[in-house]
Amino acid sequence: MVDHRAKNPIQHGGNQANIRARLKLGNRPLLDFSAPLNALGPPPVAVAAVRAATETIDRYPEPNSPRLVERLAEFHGVPTDQIIVGAGTTELINLIGQMARETAGRRRRSFGVPKPPAAHLVEPSYGEYRRTSAQNGMRTKIWDEHVLGWAQETFPEGKRGVFWTGHPNNPSGRAWDRTRLLNLVDRSPSLMTVVDEAYLPFLPDEAKRTLIGATSTRNNLIVLRSMTKIYAFPGLRIGYAVASPDIVAMLRRSQQPWTVTTAAEVAAIAAVDDSDYLRRTVELIRTESARLTDRLWDLPGVRPLWPGRQRPSFAPPMPNFVVCSLVDTPWTSPQLQDALARRGIFARECSNYRGLEIGSVVTGPGQEHHTRGHLRFCVRNPAENDILVETLADVMASESVLLRSREEIPVLSGFRRWRLRAR
């Protein structure tokens, strides 16, 4: 079987150029369900701010984005020395990896600690945690998201290194219990816990779930926030981290100057000030996420709300995307992605996520099923979500299913034979 991760170990949604070239789609319109961005599009005030900023492109931006830092500090109710702004959370993830490597190097020189730092990854998850850990020479320890999600107490105390997790996690959409996650943080004071809250602002109970307020009293906790997702301007590259003043100071020492452009900074400031935009976003996602998920459950061969196999009577609030397992269908996820693209729908194919490979195992009460892969769909507006469901139903019911999709799917072994237990 082809190992899709071997071709491209780290893939991301939103890469239309790649699929257009591969399928020779030219300029054919594509509804992009692959990148989980805000369905409302960028706030108009942010777009206006970027246009006005063109008058200042002959000047350098201010180092460290002080105006944005001040506004974010006011927004979250924390001191300015607890915030660092970067060119997207990807830059900040890399800075954290460098900090961990340098800290471990000092420990080796001072105390003769022989082993490199460990990276504890909750998988499946965002691939950049794995990439930056490998680039900085970390040993990798994988934790099953389902098991750890319900039993954080199983995480051993006294660990060192970095613990990476999304809150909510991507691609599952699962948010942690705040109290239990903080208990995990407090039981391992020598472990740097990085909580990526890129998708938390889409949830109606964000204020109760965020860990930002806990950073001032803990020197082993970093909270990441992406402005790309919630404000839908990925082309500007802007994100920030909230942590103790000591951690922020260490990250700043490694950061290159002028990584954040003037256009990105003014757009972010304008967006943060638009409270009505956030209110409308949360309301849209609250209704459309549930409605889209419910409609996807009606399609034969599609199982949303990973990792459950049975249709739930109650689903917790979800962010602006949903992952679907393909079961009892001849379609594999790469084939279905291509078929949808030819019909004008761009979905995120998930076989490069560890644990979501073609042939991974879904277990339910008294049942065990090998999946044909997984697709992730972001939540768009009601009309576009209906187009997605109708197109997906039509494609999957088509009589022209490729014969090559009927090959035997081998049973995976070890970690890759991932048991996605029903909730």
Q: Residue 364 is part of which domain span?
A: 4-32+278-421
Residues in the chain: 423
For the chain, what is the domain count?
Answer: 2
208 and 67, same domain (yes or no)? yes
Q: What's this model's pTM, rounded to 2 decimal places? A: 0.88
- Residue-level pLDDT at 314: 58
pLDDT tens across 158-208, in order?
678 999 999 999 998 989 999 989 998 999 999 999 999 999 999 999 999
Going by pLDDT thresholds of 50, 70 and 90, the confidence category of residue 156 is low
332 and 386, same domain (yes or no)? yes
Strand partners, 374: 325
Going by pLDDT thresholds of 50, 70 and 90, the confidence category of residue 407 is very low
What residue has token string 């806990």?
214
pLDDT tens across 231-287, in order?
999 999 999 999 999 999 999 999 999 999 999 999 999 999 999 999 999 999 999
64 and 207, same domain (yes or no)? yes
Backbone angles phi, psi at 341, to 5 degrees: -60, -40
| 282 within some domain | yes
Task: Give the CATH number of the domain where residue 358 resides.
Answer: 3.90.1150.10
337 and 259, same domain (yes or no)? no
| 38 within some domain | no
241 and 348, same domain (yes or no)? no
56 and 202, same domain (yes or no)? yes
What residue has token string 């594509």?
30
Q: Domain end: 273, 289, 308, which one?
A: 273
Task: Give the CATH number of the domain where residue 268 resides.
Answer: 3.40.640.10
Average pLDDT over residues 323-328: 91
- Residue-level pLDDT at 108: 63
Q: Give the mean pLDDT of the chain.
A: 86
28 and 135, same domain (yes or no)? no
pLDDT tens across 58-82, in order?
999 999 999 999 999 999 999 999 9
**Among 90-94, 169-173, 405-409, the least confident range:** 405-409
264 and 289, same domain (yes or no)? no
Report the sign of the C-alpha dihedral through residues 145, 150, 151, 157, in that order: positive
- Looking at residue 187, its amino acid is R
222 and 106, same domain (yes or no)? yes
Using DSSP's 3-state secondary structure scheme, residue 139 falls into: strand
| 39 within some domain | no
In terms of average pLDDT, the best of 24-33, 105-114, 246-255 is: 246-255
150 and 216, same domain (yes or no)? yes
What residue has token string 């009927």?
406
